[in-house]
A and B are shown apart, each in its own frame.
Chain A
Amino acid sequence: MKLLQVNDLRKYFPIQKGIFQRTIGYVKAVDGISFDVQRGETLGLVGESGCGKTTAGRCLLRLIPPTSGSFIFGEEAVDLAKLTHNEMRPYRRRIQMIFQDPHASLNPRMTVGDIVGEPMRVNRTEKGTALQDRIVELLESVGLRSQDTRRYPHAFSGGQRQRIGIARALALQPELIVADEPVSALDVSVQAQILNLLAELREKFQLSYIFIAHDLSVVEHISDRVAVMYLGKIVEISDAETLYQSPKHPYTEALISAVPLPDPSAQRKREHIRLEGDVPDPSQPPTGCYFHPRCRYATDICKQETPELRQVASGVQVACHHSDTLALQGV
């Protein structure tokens, strides 16, 4: 069952100059992306910095207004992008966010109990002892203890703080959680604990996740399907296993090849595809396929025509002119 359908989402940030703040151009942070999220599913959104993955996530929650596009949400099929601020309110409960930096996303002057209870107080869903009980229940479900309610965030380690952030996101019983790099600030041994917790909570509360991250191994581990973004566009969507075993887009192939495997002999045997140069400036993207200047398979058509995201197999969508003829290597 479809929980969310995103159609042609765009977010352009104007570049303004001079004393009259004349708009001289746009940074196309998100440039027409479409995808869907099924109920109970984890969709991974992966890409390098500046590819628009975080902007896309923030647009979904209407934390920043999208330039255009529609988000059809829930059974009632409401278009969240068209709602006014007030109409949006009941839907905010149903979509929550987990942030990257567990140090910056918790108010240092509030106790853990206040932080986790705040969404329920603001939305008036619980009060009094029921609220206190609910806070304890939430803390226990993320692996913290009831006596932690009175402590302040500084008394917790990075992993525990991320648990507090997760408890806060769960407070209003959301259906969809947008997790923006939830484990990238954590140490390896703690990262595994948080990934396990997120998987466990998904089962327990029938959650759906949009999991935004730059680390491909983490995304592969937690996601059912993965969307790869490059310069504001989705270049490939596929189920996680297919994507890593037989990527269909040259950028996906290069990304996979760039991840160093923690296996020395496999690493020595692998062919290393090294992309030249940097990600282009999103205010002046290249013509045609945005990836063509760094692509080793690029031909003339890639310089002229922008490839559309199209279905090439069941559940696999790719935006590449040559996806049918290329035999790309996975892991």
Chain B
Amino acid sequence: MASVQNTSHEKPLLEISGLKTVFPTDDGIVNAVNDVSFKIDRGQTVGVVGESGCGKSITGLSLLQLVPSPGRIEGGEIQFYRNGEEAPLDIAQVSPRSELMREIRGNEIAIIFQEPMTSLNPVYTIGNQIAEAIVLHEQVDKKTARERAIEMIARVGIPAPTQRVDEYPHQLSGGMRQRVMIAMALCCSPTLLIADEPTTALDVTIQAQVLGLMQELQAEMGMAIMLITHDLGVIADLADEVVVMYAGRVVEKGTVDDIFYNPLHPYTQGLLKSIPVLGRTPQKTLPSIPGTVPHPLTLPVGCSFQARCSERMPELEEVNGETENGGHAVRCWLHTF
């Protein structure tokens, strides 16, 4: 489906290839992101799904050169096609502290985090914090920035924006705070929004509000969204393309229908079977994936999923490559031959 929707001559917005982000620790090097490749088209929503520790958040942070110390990007490319420029910029080569990176952050690629309380500064009003982002990236005076902030607050559906602009984060509910985060992220009309578990801390009815808001704003402003989450329901609701990660690697990627209706990797299959689905006649026992995610320092040689895999072939040990199958790719020996 993807190949039909996006004509091949058109350039993507972002193309990640062979990205490797490592964390040197006292006990060895942790490959948090290991040979990750996927692309994001303009205006598209790409869902990145996986369990904790699979490297999905670090992939998001790598795109902004925000990998926390001592982590660093060790290899691969992040080709970012900036507005109005023919040749892509490789973000992996840009220094995290450079002027160029600061120009991109918040302005062209913005991020919203899971916990809206810790990502807002408690001692500044929300208006101040949104205006700060505008003043940083655009040549406007404070008054205009404040007006723009009020406009953004109204746009994310917060009632009484002229009063709310002078309130502090603690005066807002969780859902409202996440709306403020979205307002702040979108105030400079980025071309890519990275949403890292944007609704995990919220209640279901509030989650529905925030997800709906993100869809509306995407239709209006046309930005691409990289949606990082562990919730397959959220992915099914929002994503066009899905990237499934396990232990730092992409194990499967494809359109949302490919992943949900024709999953090829045993991990994707197991994940989909192991979640209870509302309204589906409950089975007595859920088919669960045995065992736990392996420790990142003691990953097995070969496929990281082998110890938990029902289809394991003991004679095959090396890591296999991805097989392209009309945009639906999987990293598994079962589908290599």
Binding site for B on A (CB under 8 A): 48-49, 157, 159-160, 187-193, 195-196, 199-200, 214, 216-218, 220-221, 240, 244-245, 254-265, 267, 272, 274-275, 278-279, 330-331
Number of B residues contacting the other chain (C-beta, 8 Å)?
45
Is A256's CB under 8 angstroms from B52's CB?
A: no
Cβ-closest 7 pairs across A and B: A331-B279, A260-B233, A221-B276, A192-B288, A192-B274, A258-B208, A48-B203
Cβ of A188: which chain B residues have Cβ within 8 Å of it?
51, 230, 232, 271, 274-275
Cβ of A260: which chain B residues have Cβ within 8 Å of it?
207-208, 211, 231, 233-234, 236-237
Known contacts A160-B292, A274-B209; decide if A187 and B278 are in contact (CB<8 Å): no
Chain B positions 205 through 228: 1 when the CB is less than 8 Å from some CB of chain A, otherwise 0: 111110110000000000000000
Is B9 an interface residue, CB under 8 A from the partner? no
Known contacts A160-B292, A262-B260; decide if A196 and B285 are in contact (CB<8 Å): yes
Is B288's CB under 8 angstroms from A259's CB?
A: no
Cβ of A272: which chain B residues have Cβ within 8 Å of it?
208, 212
> Pick the contact of B292 from A159, A244, A330, A331 — CB < 8 Å?
A159
Measured CA separation A218–B275 after assembly (Å): 8
Question: Which single residue of chain B is at the shortest CB-CB distance from A279?
Answer: B203
Is B278's CB under 8 angstroms from A258's CB?
A: no
Cβ of B231: which chain A residues have Cβ within 8 Å of it?
260
Query: 29 interchain pairs (CB within 8 A)?
Result: A157-B292, A188-B51, A188-B232, A188-B271, A188-B274, A188-B275, A189-B288, A189-B289, A192-B274, A192-B287, A192-B289, A214-B204, A217-B276, A217-B277, A244-B279, A258-B205, A259-B204, A260-B211, A260-B233, A260-B236, A261-B277, A262-B260, A262-B272, A262-B275, A263-B260, A265-B257, A274-B212, A275-B205, A278-B176
Is A275's CB under 8 angstroms from B209's CB?
A: yes
Cβ of B234: which chain A residues have Cβ within 8 Å of it?
260
Question: For chain A, what secondary structure do more than half of its interface residues adopt (helix, strand, loop), or is it mixed?
Answer: helix
Measured CA separation A56–B123 after assembly (Å): 35
Is B175 an interface residue, CB under 8 A from the partner? yes
Measured CA separation A218–B276 after assembly (Å): 6
Cβ of A160: which chain B residues have Cβ within 8 Å of it?
292
Measured CA separation A330–B256 after assembly (Å): 24
Cβ of B52: which chain A residues have Cβ within 8 Å of it?
187
Number of A-B contacts (CB under 8 A): 131
Is B175's CB under 8 angstroms from A264's CB?
A: no
- For the A-B complex with A48-B206, A192-B288 known, give 4 more contacts whose Cβ atoms are closer than 8 Å: A188-B274, A192-B287, A192-B289, A261-B237
Is A275's CB under 8 angstroms from B235's CB?
A: no
Measured CA separation A245–B279 after assembly (Å): 7
Is A189's CB under 8 angstroms from B270's CB?
A: yes
Is A264's CB under 8 angstroms from B257's CB?
A: yes
Measured CA separation A259–B275 after assembly (Å): 13
> Pick the contact of A196 from B211, B232, B288 — CB < 8 Å?
B288
Binding site for A on B (CB under 8 A): 51-52, 173, 175-176, 203-209, 211-212, 230-237, 256-257, 260-261, 270-272, 274-279, 282, 284-290, 292-293
> Pick the contact of A330 from B232, B274, B279 — CB < 8 Å?
B279
Cβ of A261: which chain B residues have Cβ within 8 Å of it?
233, 236-237, 277-279
Measured CA separation A100–B145 after assembly (Å): 43
Cβ of A256: which chain B residues have Cβ within 8 Å of it?
278
Q: Which of A189, A191, A214 gathers the greatest number of chain B CB atoms within 10 Å?
A: A189
Is A274's CB under 8 angstroms from B278's CB?
A: no
Measured CA separation A276–B285 after assembly (Å): 37
Is A258's CB under 8 angstroms from B276's CB?
A: no
Q: Which of B237, B275, B276 gathers the greatest number of chain A CB atoms within 10 Å?
A: B276
Is A187's CB under 8 angstroms from B230's CB?
A: yes
Is B204's CB under 8 angstroms from A195's CB?
A: no
Is B293's CB under 8 angstroms from A264's CB?
A: no
Cβ of A216: which chain B residues have Cβ within 8 Å of it?
204, 278
Give chain A nearest CB distance to B327 CB in angstroms: 16
Is A263's CB under 8 angstroms from B282's CB?
A: no
Cβ of B272: which chain A residues have Cβ within 8 Å of it?
262
Is A221's CB under 8 angstroms from B208's CB?
A: no
Cβ of B276: which chain A residues have Cβ within 8 Å of it?
192, 195, 217-218, 220-221
Give chain A nearest CB distance to B120 CB in angstroms: 17
Q: Which of B173, B204, B209, B284 gathers the greatest number of chain A CB atoms within 10 Å?
A: B204
Cβ of B279: which chain A residues have Cβ within 8 Å of it?
220, 244-245, 261, 330-331
Is B208's CB under 8 angstroms from A267's CB?
A: no
Give chain A nearest CB distance to B309 CB in angstroms: 12
Cβ of B271: which chain A residues have Cβ within 8 Å of it?
188-189
Give chain B nearest CB distance to A198 CB in angstroms: 11
Measured CA separation A199–B47 after assembly (Å): 32
Cβ of A196: which chain B residues have Cβ within 8 Å of it?
285-286, 288
Cβ of A159: which chain B residues have Cβ within 8 Å of it?
292
Give chain B nearest CB distance to A43 CB in angstroms: 15
Known contacts A188-B271, A190-B292, A258-B208; decide if A264 and B256 are in contact (CB<8 Å): yes
Give chain B nearest CB distance to A263 CB in angstroms: 6
Is B236's CB under 8 angstroms from A262's CB?
A: yes
Is B274's CB under 8 angstroms from A189's CB?
A: yes
